[in-house]
């Protein structure tokens, strides 16, 4: 009998390129048939065959409360009854903006949009408009959405001008994008020495979640801040993934504890602030944000920006995560998962390193945590694929790609963590050869 997931995948491929609406969902990296999800509840979801999985992707981060949290569902249902979309301002947009600004002290104003890609693209345009400069710095392995100027691969050597990593992106579109190695202070200093007066912004994932889970070192982040200040460039934190996920104040709050006076100039947000609905934002200091239309010359607009249902979902989610002890409990549960996986790998004699912060984690089939994209690429992809499918067969759904971070929700309890570790206990010894 044919698996219904396969039937749906074959059907999808006739009408949707690759059968999916976002590439990683196609299982091309790990092989096999993607699971078509029919419903979700708490820490689980179910596929088209009715099989249940412990969900560690959480819609790639937004589902910090788990699926179907009653307070969020109630807020969304109430918003739907009032109307799906108005194309006019609502009070709820103000409330969400005020909440974000209160939780992230580096922000004085925010603009709501519908996706992380839109937020990142708009932040770069605003940085260029506010500074009057053309160049931007990004880092290999950091993903900031699929805007043309950010779809760039690093070249060799110092501050190599990028080359497009997607067809349809003309080289001249990325000629002003400098791609550097993550956590490489010497290369960063040399890039500013050569191009400083032309650099509008440095955009960075403070914890890179698209090369699995790689932290920016404190010395590296300190130099990013110092050099941006020295040369008049804007430091843009991409917290689409880490914002309200690794800490209530985002990753920037973690660096502020370690670097006196630290804060980014602009922040890009998404995922958790929408609670699973299409919602994102970018924000910064008033002097920069007032360069946006209708006040300033930098144009940005969106028909569904500040959608009333999405803002209701996001506000309900942010209300819950502000409760006392929420992040302490979430972080403890995530650490228990990470430490349990590490212990089983050590017992099985499999090279394994793991890190976590808040409700976000990553593991590598490497003896030490990597510090940049080249080191991440040294991972054994085939061994990871065997681990992924072994866990999937036992009802544990990790990201179907070696280079993606994982996510724990408040709905993941001790039983789910122990079940995951038990599955790993069975799978990891098969990787030891």
Domain holding 172, by residue range, is 70-321
- What are the angstrom distances between the C-alpha of 430 and each of 48, 110, 310, 349? 28, 49, 44, 10
* CATH code of the domain covering residue 92: 3.40.640.10
- Predicted pLDDT of residue 164: 55
* Residue of 53, 135, 138, 271 marked active site: 271
Verify that 175 and 300 share a domain, yes or no: yes
Verify that 79 and 206 share a domain, yes or no: yes
Verify that 220 and 285 share a domain, yes or no: yes
Which run of H or of E encompasses 222? helix 218-231
Q: Annotated catalytic, 342?
A: no
- Predicted pLDDT of residue 158: 34
Span 105-123, average pLDDT: 97
Verify that 301 and 331 share a domain, yes or no: no
Among 292, 321, 350, where does a domain finish?
321
Per residue, the 3-state secondary structure of 105-160, as one string, reads CCCCEEEEECCHHHHHHHHHHHHHHHHCCCEEEEECCCCCCCCHHHCEECCCCCCC
Q: Annotated catalytic, 299?
A: no
pLDDT (tens digit, 9 = 90+) per residue, 267-278? 999 999 999 999
* CATH code of the domain covering residue 23: 3.90.1150.10
Span 372-397, average pLDDT: 94
Average pLDDT, the chain: 94
- Predicted pLDDT of residue 326: 98
* Residue of 47, 55, 138, 143 marked active site: 143
Span 49-68, average pLDDT: 98
Number of domains in the chain: 2
Verify that 236 and 356 share a domain, yes or no: no
Verify that 192 and 120 share a domain, yes or no: yes
* Residue of 238, 255, 265, 397 marked active site: 238
pLDDT (tens digit, 9 = 90+) per residue, 11-52? 999 999 999 999 889 999 899 999 999 999 999 999 999 999
Q: Annotated catalytic, 238?
A: yes
- Predicted pLDDT of residue 433: 64
Among 254, 287, 321, where does a domain finish?
321
> Exposure pattern of 186-224 as b/e (b: 16+ CB <10 Å)?
ebbeebbeebbebbbbbbbbbbbbbbbbbbbeeebbbbb
Verify that 276 and 296 share a domain, yes or no: yes
């Amino acid at each position: 009998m044919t698996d219904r997931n396969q039937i749906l995948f074959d059907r999808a491929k006739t009408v949707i390129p690759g059968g999916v609406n976002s590439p990683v969902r196609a299982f091309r990296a790990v092989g096999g048939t993607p699971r078509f999800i029919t419903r979700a509840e708490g820490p689980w979801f179910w596929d088209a065959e009715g099989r249940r999985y412990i969900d560690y992707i959480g819609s790639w981060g937004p589902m910090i409360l788990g699926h179907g949290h009653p307070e969020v569902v109630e807020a969304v249902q109430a918003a739907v009854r009032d109307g799906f979309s108005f194309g006019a301002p609502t009070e709820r947009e103000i409330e969400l903006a005020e909440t974000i600004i209160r939780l992230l002290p580096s922000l004085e104003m925010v603009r709501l949009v519908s996706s992380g890609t839109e937020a990142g693209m708009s932040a770069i345009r605003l940085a260029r408009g506010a500074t009057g400069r053309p160049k931007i710095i990004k880092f290999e392995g950091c993903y900031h959405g699929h805007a043309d100027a950010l779809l760039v691969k690093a070249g060799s050597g110092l501050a190599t001008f990028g080359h497009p990593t997607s067809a349809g992106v003309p080289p001249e579109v990325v000629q002003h994008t400098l791609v550097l190695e993550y956590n490489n202070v010497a290369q960063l200093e040399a890039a500013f020495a050569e191009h400083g007066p032309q650099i509008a912004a440095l955009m960075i994932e403070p914890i890179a979640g698209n090369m699995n889970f790689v932290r920016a070192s404190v010395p590296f982040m300190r130099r990013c801040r110092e050099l941006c200040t020295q040369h008049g460039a804007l430091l843009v934190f991409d917290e689409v993934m880490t914002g309200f996920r690794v800490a209530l104040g985002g990753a920037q709050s973690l660096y502020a504890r370690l670097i006196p006076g630290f804060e980014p100039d602009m922040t890009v947000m998404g995922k958790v602030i929408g609670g699973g609905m299409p919602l994102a934002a970018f924000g910064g200091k008033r002097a920069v944000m007032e360069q946006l239309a209708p006040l300033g010359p930098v144009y940005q607009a969106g028909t569904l920006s500040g959608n009333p249902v999405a803002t209701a979902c996001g506000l309900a989610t942010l209300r819950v995560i502000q409760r006392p002890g929420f992040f302490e409990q979430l972080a403890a549960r995530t650490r228990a998962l990470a430490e349990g996986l590490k212990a089983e790998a050590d017992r099985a004699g499999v090279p394994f390193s793991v890190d976590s912060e808040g409700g976000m984690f990553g593991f590598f089939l490497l003896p030490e945590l990597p510090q940049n994209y080249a080191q991440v690429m040294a991972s054994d992809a085939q061994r990871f694929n065997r681990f992924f499918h072994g866990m999937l067969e036992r009802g544990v759904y990790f990201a179907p790609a070696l280079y993606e971070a994982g996510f724990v929700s408040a709905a993941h309890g001790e039983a789910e963590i122990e079940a995951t570790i038990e599955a790993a206990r069975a799978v990891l010894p098969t990787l030891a050869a």
